[in-house]
Homo-oligomer: A and B are copies of this chain.
């Protein structure tokens, strides 16, 4: 097989690559990470590089303009290496690796009157055993079992690797040892207790647990003292899978390629283990003393973490391998905690309503609500639950990642340099904006996009259908490559040296996203014969709620129009739910009951969602009666500044 020589600039790295390999593969081997938000499908154009000399075979040139092609741009994920080449790799949007110390999580109190003896399934049992003799040559295992029987623990499940250590352990601190045992789990409440660790001696030691939320974008971990139930610390990190696809669909596609599944699994494990190590180091704790983990995440994240092929999640009729994984051991899934630790992946409901949502329902106490309550978790997807203590219905809207800044020309994640809020002057249409970390602006994050669109609508700069009014006489609104666009920041103000704009195409994306979510509300309410207006409380979970301005979200028709005091931001409800299930067998039983109780409404099953969606494809909605306060404000603005009155 022919071997070609590749050189990458500006790093000047050189390596030999076999004929037929993809340029993305070569970049990976060279240690030059390049983001693949679309999962390497050639859809997003983010992996464009410049072929400075030599050639590559371009399998697809979609997303490249004629000028790009002229300038020898190529998409790395679509470029086959067939000759020596010199490649220029433009500086990529770096994912800023930062320690997200989630202050909400840190402030979390033990969520109920926690009694480890009653609530905790993982407990320590100090034991003093009678030493063996010629008249009592009972084997080590039976000797241990007898001692445990007197603690009420019977029929111990002893894994072979632990049995191999048993003899040495019992003799180290002669015939005194402390067992760490999972006394029961949701799968076998009456089943055999499982030995997790056996420590020589009877000196007390701390047993820890972790609650893990594997988000599509962010992995969050809470470190907990299992005896007191207290949170020791928490931390978060971007999910290492991001570079292989920004949304679940891109990752499912990536998982289907070669060893994509293995790679995505190890990226998720890598991120989780990195966060766990950081937490352990910060608290001077050995990761081996973490004996239990509960894990939540959407169904795709769970599949990728467990190494289950996710392909069927993407294809009708959207059937996952499993919603309710069986109890596991840490060594089976590669978690860097005690290898025998109990790992409990909490149950989900369907392919697009995962354990993150059931955990959210648990921690938000939706399942105990007296009145009609709406729970939403908008991340890359939008999952919605409507219900009371008596019933729960749920659906998932494929909103797409627009609210996370993807699919938008100047979109970006909510990190340093992101414009997070915008105000537009009603008369001049000049903007004022706030930037994360008060840095020079680089792009618009989700809350900035919602804020800007709402302002443009309320000020009359765009109409109900999201079209720009081109005759307002402001240089901010101009004709761009793909139709009208609004300039939020001029090139001179930005770190990129380019204008930051919101285009008509961007607005279309945002409107489709918000219409999908509002359409979901509508269908859910209709499915149980109720009305959104009857909702007494709206609980907002997930990172989305952290920066969201409800007023603006209502103005674009993303959230229903109702008094602000009905909205409650709950933070990362998913990881809070995992935390509760980590502590208490009754919380664990509750989440199982919740998953069973939730009725999943498949939006693609009939036309009602399509109708609700198209009705919502306006600002704020086709039916203005549903948004009385927005309608009133719009009318007020219109009367104050007559159109064409400049």
Contact = CB atoms under 8 A, between A and B. Distances in A.
A137 B601 CA distance: 11
Contact of A141 (B309, B322, B328): B322
A316 B602 contact: no
A312 interface: yes
A129 to B, nearest CB: 11
B140 A321 contact: yes
B309 A168 contact: yes
A533 interface: no
A250 interface: no
Interface in A299-338: 306-309, 311-312, 316-326, 328, 332-333
A600 B137 CA distance: 10
A135 interface: yes
Interface string A134-146: 1111111110000
A160 interface: yes
Interface string A150-174: 0000010110100110111001000
A18 interface: no
A407 interface: no
A316 to B, nearest CB: 7
Contact of A158 (B134, B141, B164, B326): B326
B164 A308 contact: yes
B167 A311 contact: yes
Nearest to A140: B321
Given A142-B324, A160-B306, A312 B134 contact: no
A604 interface: yes
Contact of A319 (B138, B157, B605): B138
A412 interface: no
Nearest to A143: B319
B316 A134 contact: yes
Contacts of A332: 160
Contacts of A187: 155, 192
A308 B192 contact: no
A191 interface: yes
A188 interface: yes
A133 B138 CA distance: 57
A167 B321 contact: yes
A163 B155 CA distance: 26
Contacts of A311: 167
A307 B160 contact: yes
Contact of A134 (B160, B320, B604): B604
A189 to B, nearest CB: 11
Interface of A: 132-142, 155, 157-158, 160, 163-164, 166-168, 171, 187-188, 191-192, 306-309, 311-312, 316-326, 328, 332-333, 350-351, 600, 602, 604-605
18 contacts: A133-B317, A134-B316, A134-B604, A135-B602, A137-B350, A137-B602, A139-B324, A140-B319, A140-B322, A142-B324, A155-B187, A163-B321, A164-B307, A164-B309, A166-B308, A167-B308, A167-B309, A171-B312
